[in-house]
Structure 1
Amino acid sequence: MAETADRGRRTILETLEPGQVCKGVVSSIEKFGVLVDIGGLDGLVNVTELAWTHFEAASDIVEVGQQVTILVLGVDIEREQASFSLKALHPDPLEEFARVQFGRVIPGRVENVFFSVGVFVEVHENFKGLVPMHELAERNADQPENVLLYGDEVMVEVTGINLYRRRILLSLRS
């Protein structure tokens, strides 16, 4: 029986290719990710491949027994392992944000104030950007908390977006 299961897993692995889309069922949720069963083979969706948005735990995204559609990222036949992604099948919301908001002045809310770095401002339900310290220094402030406080509503210009590092650079506007 175990030999038949091993042969079945190997057969599934041999049919998988990176870029392929398949359906599976969430079989287990771990801190490092989610295991998805695709017909007798459990493959891993690493926690970084679950969603584009911020979440606290994998269980915020999926639940055991849930049917999911996944993208095959990699296959290792020798190790009998497969890696999958849930988020790769959905558009990156930061790309859309960049297309629409880059160069614009938009409202935001101060989320964090760091003395040596600057101020982080929430500019979208999923994104925070940085107003660097030198932007605040132009306002004759020795410390960011002298200019802005947590919860303050501000107008900021989106001056830079790094899609690879997933960073947004902002400039404070009056």
Structure 2
Amino acid sequence: MDWRAESPELWAFLGSLRCGEVLSGTVTAIESFGVFVAFDDGPPHPLYPGVGFITIPELSWRRFEVASDVVQVGQRVSGEFLQFDTWNAEARLSLRAMQPDPFHAFAECTTVGTELHGHVTQLVPFGVFVQVADGIEGLIHRRDLMSPTDEFVQIGDDAAVVVTGVDRERRQLFLSRQTTGQL
């Protein structure tokens, strides 16, 4: 669709937005692929339930199961403008950009060898994720779980772990079982 010809007012509005600008509106629809937002200011979208769109990864720094764990239809939100999606004639937004990244604060005071306690949040073929602080999860690789004395690990189990690596750029925390404790 040629959005410039079909909706010149919308195209002009989206073209006037600048990266980093904060836009406010109301959540109008939640889909498996993201969230639509109708802005307080600006024209409506002729096809979608909102001119603003938030992809799933941009909703929150924390892990969640479904978008409705973070926002609800009818909720007022403010997000940082990331880009003008010219294909869909949408303003891509980020809610998480409006909050400090909890991983960076955690990484500043955590070093390799730090002993932590948490609980198992997810079992995956390559290991186990353990939540060690609010919004902070790390991975114990499968090879670090294999031992004849290990019992079957379940979601919710308490875990005593040691930090084996922190990748600030990728926001990854690597863990191992504490040798003095059990997972």
* TM-score for the superposition, normalised by structure 2: 0.74
Cα gap change, 1:63 to 1:112, in 2 (>3 Å): closer
Match of 1:96 among 100, 105, 127: 105
Distance in 2 between the 1:79 and 1:160 partners? 40
Match of 2:31 in 1: 30
Point out the structure with the larger helix share. 1
Q: Any idea what SS the aligned residue of 2:11 has? A: helix
Q: Per-residue deviation at 1:46?
A: 0.7
Cα gap change, 1:119 to 1:12, in 2 (>3 Å): closer
Determine what percentage of the aligned residue pairs are the same residue. Answer: 35
Q: Per-residue deviation at 1:152?
A: 4.5
Match of 2:18 in 1: 17
Match of 2:150 among 146, 151, 155: 146
1:171 equivalent in alignment to 2:176:
yes
Q: Is residue 136–residue 147 contact of structure 1 (8 Å, CA) maintained in 2?
A: no
Q: Per-residue deviation at 1:120?
A: 3.3
Q: Per-residue deviation at 1:78?
A: 7.0
Distance in 2 between the 1:109 and 1:78 partners? 43
Match of 2:161 among 156, 163, 168: 156
Match of 2:118 in 1: 108
Cα gap change, 1:77 to 1:25, in 2 (>3 Å): same
1:123 equivalent in alignment to 2:132:
yes
Cα gap change, 1:86 to 1:136, in 2 (>3 Å): closer
Once the two structures are superposed, residues 13-58 of structure 1 have per-residue CA deviations (whole angstroms, 9 ceiling, x without a partner) of 1220112112122122111111112232412111111111122221
Match of 2:77 among 68, 74, 83: 68
Distance in 2 between the 1:19 and 1:43 partners? 14
Once the two structures are superposed, residues 58-103 of structure 1 have per-residue CA deviations (whole angstroms, 9 ceiling, x without a partner) of 1221122222111111014575322111111111111122112333
Distance in 1 between the 2:88 and 2:157 partners? 52
Q: Is residue 14–residue 77 contact of structure 1 (8 Å, CA) maintained in 2?
A: no
Cα gap change, 1:84 to 1:136, in 2 (>3 Å): closer
Distance in 2 between the 1:134 and 1:56 partners? 27
Q: Any idea what SS the aligned residue of 2:64 has? A: coil
* TM-score for the superposition, normalised by structure 1: 0.77
Instruction: Provide structure 1 residue ranges, at least 5 long, that are not aligned to the other structure.
Output: none
Paired positions, count: 164
Q: CA RMSD in A?
A: 2.7
